[in-house]
């Protein structure tokens, strides 16, 4: 079949009044971690999803064929109708960095070389061929720099006309930190810090040293930090030199990630003790290390941000990149810097690069006006009531049907108030690492034993990790010390008001904080109604919201995944569309997910 | 049954043997590539002190400090670690580099 590009370019089509003005751009990110696809139609983000949700492999980095299929299906188009594909980085610049590292580290880097080169030869430098082969696409492909994709994913989805842009992650091509300004549909990244000097890799090195998995468990270190004291902060300061202008460099004597398969160097281990093995107990020493690391991260972040403000005098800030998921640091930005408003892309990691690449192509390369503000993260697949019913009937699953929305909200709230654990599955799946009410597990935050119950039944998390609260937006100031009215993406941690902490033991972290999500009726009517019904029973407009997944697996995507998750864990009820399923009613499908769980 | 399981065992054995041989040859080839491809450039470059990665030399300011602001050491020769980014043209985005 002929590609649309062969017959008429997008620009020509737009100039032709007989043609419908529609420019469709597919954004792709893959081959490192969190592969994803996003589709932008006339500048509006229509669909986006991570490949892991379909393949069921956590952080799946492979070519996102299933995510792309979903995006095309969501727009009801074929690949031939795509005008442009935007890839989220420049592979040859990354390859240059890789070779430079090996040249620098020769002959110490053979292990890393042997591990990396085959995938580079087979996939990473053959991206145009892979795209053409996998998708049968013959049109133009744009390669947007990694940090530019991150910056675009935040600024071009934000409500700001003008903002300071800061992207922070492990590493892109060469850049590990980039700063610039966005105005209308123009993004200018003016300066960057280059590999190996990386705040993200510093955090990951400490994560590896603490016995947690890199590129996956950095949030565990963040959760551990409030248990300790920053007694090693001075020692940590030896790892990094920061200038007044916010630029920094690492002291590479402490790191080996640029040539070896392990991240902390011998000197790091001499300074901070042996690497904790994953099953070893977490001691006070580890807590203090986590606390010191988090304190250092915040110091550096605020130094960079204060310098950027001094330079630009702009009070809006957009952030993206893996470090922008450090919700503890994010929650302190407005108190420690002159920035007044902060927008962070909810899919701030590499998955969001697909969104950024597509938006950048539309707004900046094609020079089209901005028409999009991201107000929610419900960008993934949804399922029809009939499809769900068919699945339930075909599998002889015993269920009940709610009479109406009020019945659904009231019944669910009653079950939660009785300390049941509920899986809520509705509407479009969330894009990004957070479950925000469509693929969520809900429970009672007022029960002091709920953390234990949730861990025993479902999550099997380390005890030090807190659960997160969701609260109706109109009540947020009654419960949280927060400087804004809404936080729909669960990307900021704020202090819970002292007088409310005892009321919410499950979601109050040891330092009295909570990583909250606010919700309005407009954003998610069913989710909001359940909280309101819970409030009628308990006088508390707050629920525990945690992601709907089996430990070590991605968040559920389909009704099958949700049912399997409930039956493999101790979730008591699954509220799915207008159906409710009790686990105890379906003993034939029970299994033990922990027997297969990893991480 | 017995024949089938014997044949399956043989098949699995050959598969294992094949994958081991493949891995070994791959490692040998990669080693040769590493020595010839990387080593030949790296060794003379090291002799001429070429810097492949930025700011790799230790700074005089890498001692413990009480406050982060103290780390802004005037005596550092390097004034900033920011690297100014070149502005890209539209054509740049059509390239993989």
Query: pLDDT of A147-164, one tens digit each?
Result: 999 999 999 999 999 999
B26 interface with A at CB cutoff 8 Å: yes
Interface of B with A in 60-89 (CB under 8 A): 61-66, 68-69, 71-73, 76, 79-85, 87-88
CA dist., res. A201 & res. A250, Å (int): 10
Domain with A183, as residue range(s), is: 158-344
pLDDT band at A460 (very low <50, low <70, confident <90, very high): confident
Instruction: Give the ipTM.
Output: 0.90
Structural domains counted in chain A: 3
CB contact under 8 A, B42 and A106: yes
> Does residue A283 lie within any of the structural domains?
yes
CATH number at residue A24: 3.30.420.40
> Does residue A551 lie within any of the structural domains?
yes
Q: B-chain residues within 8 Å CB-CB of A175?
A: 85
Q: Report the percentage of chain A scoring pLDDT > 90.
A: 90
* Cα angle B91, A318, A141; round to 5: 25
CA dist., res. A349 & res. A59, Å (int): 11
Which DSSP string do the residues of A145-195 spell out, in sequence order? Answer: -HHHHHHHHHHTTSS-SEEEEEEE-S-SSSEEEEEEEEETTEEEEEEEEET
A203-215: burial string, b at 16+ Cβ within 10 Å, e else: bbbbbbbbbbebb
Are both A295 and A214 inside the same structural domain?
yes
Which of B45, B83, B86, B89 is most worth mutating to test chain A (most A CB atoms within 10 A of its CB)?
A: B83
The number of residues in chain A equals: 599
> Does residue A27 lie within any of the structural domains?
yes
Q: Name the β-bridge partners of A579.
A: A401, A576
Q: Is pLDDT above 60 for B68? A: no
- Looking at A91-95, A370-374, A412-416, A459-463, which range is the least confident one? A459-463
Which run of H or E residues covers position A342? strand A341-344
Are both A125 and A172 inside the same structural domain?
no
Domain with B77, as residue range(s), is: 2-94
Query: pLDDT of A39-71, one tens digit each?
Result: 999 999 999 999 999 999 999 999 999 999 999
Q: Output the pLDDT for position B72.
A: 44
Q: In this structure, what token pair is assigned to residue A457?
A: 């039944």
Using CA coordinates, name the residue in chain A closest to B76: A243
Structural domains counted in chain B: 1
Q: A-chain residues within 8 Å CB-CB of B53?
A: 100-101, 104, 194-196, 258
> Does residue A270 lie within any of the structural domains?
yes
Among residues A115, A146, A177, which one ends one of the domains? A146
Are both A318 and A170 inside the same structural domain?
yes
Among residues A122, A146, A170, which one ends one of the domains? A146
Query: pLDDT of A160-171, one tens digit each?
Result: 999 999 999 999
Are both A65 and A112 inside the same structural domain?
yes
Using CA coordinates, name the residue in chain B closest to A253: B58
Q: A-chain residues within 8 Å CB-CB of B51?
A: 104
Among residues A146, A166, A182, which one ends one of the domains? A146
Are both A68 and A208 inside the same structural domain?
no
CB contact under 8 A, A90 and B27: no
Q: In this structure, what token pair is assigned to residue A530?
A: 């359940």
CB contact under 8 A, B84 and A142: no
Q: Out of A103, A110, A251, name the one closest to residue B45 (CB).
A: A103
CATH number at residue A531: 3.90.870.20
Are both A332 and A424 inside the same structural domain?
no
> Does residue A372 lie within any of the structural domains?
no
pLDDT band at A593 (very low <50, low <70, confident <90, very high): confident
Q: Is pLDDT above 90 for A19? A: no
Token look-up 């107000």 returns: A375
B20: closest CA of chain A, how far (Å): 15
Are both A17 and A123 inside the same structural domain?
yes
CB contact under 8 A, A196 and B33: no
């Amino acid at each position: 079949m002929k590609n649309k590009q062969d017959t008429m370019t997008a620009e020509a089509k737009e100039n032709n009044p007989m043609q419908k003005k529609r420019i469709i751009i597919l954004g792709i990110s893959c081959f490192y971690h969190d592969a994803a696809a996003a589709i932008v139609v006339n500048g509006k983000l229509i669909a986006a999803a991570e490949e892991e949700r379909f393949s069921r492999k956590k952080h799946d980095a492979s070519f996102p064929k299933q995510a792309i299929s979903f995006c095309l299906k969501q727009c009801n188009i074929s690949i031939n109708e795509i005008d442009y594909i935007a890839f989220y980085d420049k592979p040859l610049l990354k390859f240059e960095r890789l070779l430079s590292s090996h040249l620098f580290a020769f002959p110490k880097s053979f292990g890393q070389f042997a591990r990396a080169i085959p995938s580079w030869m087979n996939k990473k430098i053959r991206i145009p061929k892979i795209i053409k082969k996998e998708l049968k696409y013959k049109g133009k492909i744009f390669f947007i720099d990694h940090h530019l994709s991150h910056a675009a994913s935040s600024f071009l989805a934000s409500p700001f006309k003008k903002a300071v842009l800061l992207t922070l992650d492990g590493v892109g091509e060469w850049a590990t930190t980039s700063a610039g300004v966005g105005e209308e549909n123009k993004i200018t990244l003016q300066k960057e810090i280059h590999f190996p000097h990386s705040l993200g890799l510093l955090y990951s090195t400490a994560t590896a040293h603490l016995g947690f998995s890199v590129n996956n468990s950095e949030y565990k270190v963040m959760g551990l930090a409030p248990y300790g004291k920053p007694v090693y902060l001075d020692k940590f300061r030896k790892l990094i030199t920061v200038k007044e202008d916010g630029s920094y460099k690492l002291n590479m004597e402490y790191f080996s990630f640029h040539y070896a398969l392990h991240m902390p160097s011998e000197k790091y281990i001499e300074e901070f003790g042996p690497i904790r093995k994953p099953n070893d107990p977490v001691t006070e020493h580890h807590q203090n290390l986590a606390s010191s690391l988090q304190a250092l991260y915040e110091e550096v972040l605020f130094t960079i941000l204060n310098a950027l403000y001094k330079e630009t005098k702009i009070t809006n800030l957009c952030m993206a990149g893996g470090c922008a998921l450090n919700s503890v640091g994010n929650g302190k930005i407005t108190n420690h810097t002159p920035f007044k408003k902060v927008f962070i892309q909810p899919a701030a990691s590499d998955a969001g690069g697909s969104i950024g690449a597509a938006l950048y192509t539309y707004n900046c390369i094609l020079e089209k006006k901005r028409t999009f503000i991201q107000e929610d993260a419900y960008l993934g697949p949804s399922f029809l009531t009939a499809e769900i019913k068919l699945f339930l009937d075909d599998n002889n699953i015993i269920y009940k049907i709610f009479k109406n929305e009020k019945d659904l909200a009231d019944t669910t709230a009653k079950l939660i108030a009785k300390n049941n654990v509920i899986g809520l599955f509705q509407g479009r799946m969330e894009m990004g690492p957070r479950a925000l009410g469509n693929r969520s597990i809900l429970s009672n935050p007022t029960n002091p034993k709920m953390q234990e119950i949730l861990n025993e039944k479902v999550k099997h998390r380390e005890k030090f990790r807190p659960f997160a609260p969701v609260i109706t937006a109109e009540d947020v100031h009654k419960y949280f010390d927060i400087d804004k009215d809404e936080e729909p993406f669960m990307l900021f941690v704020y202090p819970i008001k002292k007088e409310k902490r005892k009321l919410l033991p499950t979601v109050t972290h040891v330092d009295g904080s909570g990583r909250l999500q606010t919700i309005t009726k407009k954003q998610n009517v069913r989710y909001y109604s359940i909280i309101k019904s819970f409030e009628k029973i308990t006088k508390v407009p707050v629920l525990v919201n945690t992601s709907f997944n089996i430990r070590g697996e991605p968040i559920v995507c389909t009704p099958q995944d949700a049912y399997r998750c409930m039956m493999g864990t101790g979730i008591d009820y699954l509220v799915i569309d207008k159906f409710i399923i009790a686990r105890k009613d379906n003993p034939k499908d029970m299994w033990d997910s922990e027997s297969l769980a990893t991480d | 049954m017995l024949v089938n399981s014997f044949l399956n065992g043989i098949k699995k054995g050959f598969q294992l043997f094949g994958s081991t041989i493949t891995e070994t040859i791959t490692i040998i080839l990669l080693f040769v590539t590493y020595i010839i491809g990387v080593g030949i450039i790296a060794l003379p470059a090291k002799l001429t002190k070429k810097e492949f990665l930025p700011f790799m030399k230790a700074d005089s300011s890498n001692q413990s400090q009480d406050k982060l602001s103290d780390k802004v050491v005037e005596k550092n020769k390097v004034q900033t670690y920011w690297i100014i980014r070149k502005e890209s043209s539209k054509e740049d985005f059509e390239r993989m580099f």
